[in-house]
């Protein structure tokens, strides 16, 4: 097991801690109550953090507005250089930040380090992009006129993030928002405040070294009330929200009410179709990692396996065998496959879902339950489980953020695609097949209705180079790669007349 002293770890990330829950003493706008962060790995108090109160919000907003006036004048490639330096700081702090992510959130150390790597990757991507914020030019229908489009910064971008990706989601948004000339106010999940504080401290090093205005990166460690203010505030041009569909519905409505812009990245209910032409070795690895990785707490976690009847029994038996080999325990121990759930509420939701599934007729072939014993003393460790179900069950239609995998049998591929699409969510999907016809049908307009559709790769995770997001109740937003940067800018069409007359469009005459 990798052992590090959490106090030293926090100190290297600029967080003062006595390792006994005393306040971190952060000096930004945080004069509210203290909240304590506990590790789901061993229930230890990691540290307490001061929250931001309502009047702190006013200060943060004023600082951000002030910073934007200066920051938008800095050329985009120079803003890119700032992001490049931030990426290098992340490289330097990767081990410490990765450990903190793992310890505070409970995901495996490998995944914690992987999350920091995603931050580094998006910084690299954004640096290149900072020289490529292209608009189109087009031919004017009027002689002596030039027409083109350009993109300008929006202003303040509010980022509200979920607990399960406590650092990467912010960086996907912040890196793009910054190169586009915006300033960012981040309200992280109150379940992972120390990860957020560490990121803010790392960015502060870059701001200081470059004499940048305060207020380019702002942090509000606070509860949902402050989140709600950010959402309803007309001065916040774009709200990028990552979280549950339940909260996203409220956020989307409130931002739309004031004609603000939003990016909504909400829940998923992701399925892998395993056809009779699948490579079953790859299918089992993809399915098991997708279902139990991050203890089933990824928006892209595999929740459903839709399996062709001729291979169903074999897949089921191999899954049972694979689940029997899973090692569950401390996420910092790299030999474990599965860590804890985030807290006891999440454990209760997992238990309730199992119960509901049984009531609806689900048959568990790998039983769930809470793990007991000294190494599971936090009460957050649960057994990954598998149930045979029907797709229409209410519980199967719902995203339970825990390692529960549902198996569904099908006869024809059309039926499998219909089952895959027949849920309210539309984030990630996959097909396992070596048959070109099956793969192409799945990717066609008559195939998967999700924002992400993969062939011979599971549903879990995504590369930062592609636009990330989903359809239907997943919210429709896109962030990270491709042209997602356009969400972070306002678009302007410009027409310039360089003649001495003023011809009107469509040949209209207006003689004076």
Q: Which residues are at the interface with ligand NAD (CB under 6 A)?
A: 160-165, 187, 189-190, 224, 227-228, 231, 242-244, 247, 250-251, 265-268, 299, 399, 401, 427, 470, 474
Q: How many beta carbons lie within 10 A of that of residue 371, not counting itself? A: 15
Which stretches does DSSP call E strand in 309-439?
A: 363-366, 385-388, 404-410, 425-426, 428-432
Alpha carbon distance 461, 154 (integer Å): 29
Alpha carbon distance 108, 403 (integer Å): 14
Q: Least Å distance between CB 107 and ligand NAD?
A: 12
Q: What is the dihedral of CA 332, 337, 343, 348, to 10 degrees?
A: -160
Q: Least Å distance between CB 11 and ligand NAD?
A: 26
Nearer to ligand NAD, 98 or 268 (CB): 268
Residue 377, helix vs strand vs coil: coil
List, in sequence order, every residue forming a beta bridge with 185; answer none if it has no partner.
158, 218
Nearer to ligand NAD, 205 or 343 (CB): 343
Residue 469, helix vs strand vs coil: coil
User: What are phi and psi for residue 57, nearest 5 degrees?
Assistant: -55, -45
Residue 409, helix vs strand vs coil: strand
SS (H, E, C) 221-254: CCCHHHHHHHHHCCCEEEEEEECCHHHHHHHHHH
Angle between helix axes 109-129 and 76-105 (nearest 10 degrees) is 170
Q: Least Å distance between CB 296 and ligand NAD?
A: 11
Nearer to ligand NAD, 98 or 153 (CB): 98
Angle between helix axes 224-232 and 245-257 (nearest 10 degrees) is 30
Residue 171, helix vs strand vs coil: helix
Nearer to ligand NAD, 39 or 189 (CB): 189
Alpha carbon distance 221, 65 (integer Å): 19
Residue 320, helix vs strand vs coil: helix
Instruction: Kindly report each contact of residues 227-232 with a partner whose C-beta sits within 8 Å and lies 24 or more positions away, as own/partner.
Output: 227/160, 227/187, 228/254, 229/54, 229/57, 230/57, 230/158, 230/160, 230/185, 230/187, 231/158, 231/160, 231/255, 232/257, 232/258
Q: Least Å distance between CB 247 and ligand NAD?
A: 4
Nearer to ligand NAD, 153 or 477 (CB): 477
Nearer to ligand NAD, 59 or 224 (CB): 224
Q: Least Å distance between CB 226 and ligand NAD?
A: 8
265 catalytic? Reply is: yes
Nearer to ligand NAD, 214 or 228 (CB): 228
- Count the helix, strand and coil residues of the chain and give each as a percent rounded to the nearest 5: 40, 20, 40
Q: Which residue in 265, 399, 438, 479 is the catalytic one?
A: 265
Contact yes or no for 261/158 (Cβ under 8 A)? no
Q: Least Å distance between CB 133 and ligand NAD?
A: 24
Nearer to ligand NAD, 200 or 283 (CB): 200
CA atoms within 13 A on the CB side of 53: 5
**Catalytic residue ranges:** 265
């Amino acid at each position: 097991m990798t052992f590090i002293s959490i106090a030293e770890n926090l100190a290297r990330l600029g967080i003062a801690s006595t390792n006994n829950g005393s306040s971190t003493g952060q000096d930004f706008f945080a004069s509210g109550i203290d909240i304590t962060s506990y590790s789901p790995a061993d229930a230890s108090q990691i540290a307490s953090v001061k929250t931001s109160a309502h009047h702190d919000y006013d200060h943060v907003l004023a600082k951000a507005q002030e910073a934007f006036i200066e920051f938008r004048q800095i050329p985009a490639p120079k803003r890119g250089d700032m992001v490049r330096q931030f990426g290098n700081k992340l490289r330097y702090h990767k081990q410490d930040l990765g450990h903190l992510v793992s310890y505070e959130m409970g995901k495996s150390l490998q995944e914690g380090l992987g999350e920091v790597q995603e931050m580094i990757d998006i910084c690299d991507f954004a640096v290149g992009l900072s020289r490529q914020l292209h608009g189109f030019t087009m031919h004017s229908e009027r002689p002596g006129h030039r027409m083109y489009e350009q993109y300008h910064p929006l202003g303040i971008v509010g980022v509200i993030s979920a607990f399960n990706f406590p650092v990467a989601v912010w960086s996907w948004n912040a890196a793009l928002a910054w190169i586009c000339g915006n300033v960012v106010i981040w309200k992280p999940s109150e379940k992972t405040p120390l990860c957020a504080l560490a990121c803010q401290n790392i960015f502060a090093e870059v701001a200081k070294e470059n004499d940048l205005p305060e207020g380019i990166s702002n942090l509000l460690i606070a509860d949902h009330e402050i989140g709600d203010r950010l959402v309803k505030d007309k001065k916040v041009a774009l709200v990028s929200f990552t979280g549950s569909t339940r909260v996203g519905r409220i956020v989307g409505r409130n931002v739309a009410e004031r004609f603000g812009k939003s990016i909504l990245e909400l829940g998923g209910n992701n399925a892998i179709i395993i056809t009779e032409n699948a490579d079953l070795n790859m299918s089992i690895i993809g399915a098991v990692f997708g279902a139990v990785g991050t203890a089933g707490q990824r928006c892209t976690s595999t929740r459903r396996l839709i399996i062709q009847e001729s291979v169903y029994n074999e897949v089921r038996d191999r899954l049972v065998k694979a689940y029997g080999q899973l090692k569950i325990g401390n996420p910092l121990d790299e030999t474990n496959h599965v860590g804890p759930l985030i807290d006891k509420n999440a454990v209760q939701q997992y238990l309730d879902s199992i119960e509901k599934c049984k009531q609806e007729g689900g048959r568990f072939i790998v039983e769930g339950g809470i793990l007991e014993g000294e190494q599971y003393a936090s009460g957050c460790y649960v057994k990954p489980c598998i149930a045979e179900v029907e797709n229409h069950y209410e519980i199967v239609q719902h995203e339970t953020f825990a390692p529960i995998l549902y198996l569904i049998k099908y006869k024809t591929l059309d039926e499998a695609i219909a089952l895959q699409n027949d849920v309210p969510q539309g984030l990630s999907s996959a097909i396992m097949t070596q048959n070109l016809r099956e793969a192409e049908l799945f990717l066609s307009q008559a195939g998967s209705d999700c924002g992400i559709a993969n062939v011979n790769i599971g549903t879990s995770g995504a590369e930062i180079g592609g636009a990330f997001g989903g359809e239907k109740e997943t919210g429709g937003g896109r962030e990270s790669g491709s042209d997602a940067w356009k969400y972070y800018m306002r678009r302007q069409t410009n027409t310039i007349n360089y003649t001495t007359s003023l011809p009107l469009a469509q040949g209209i005459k207006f003689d004076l």
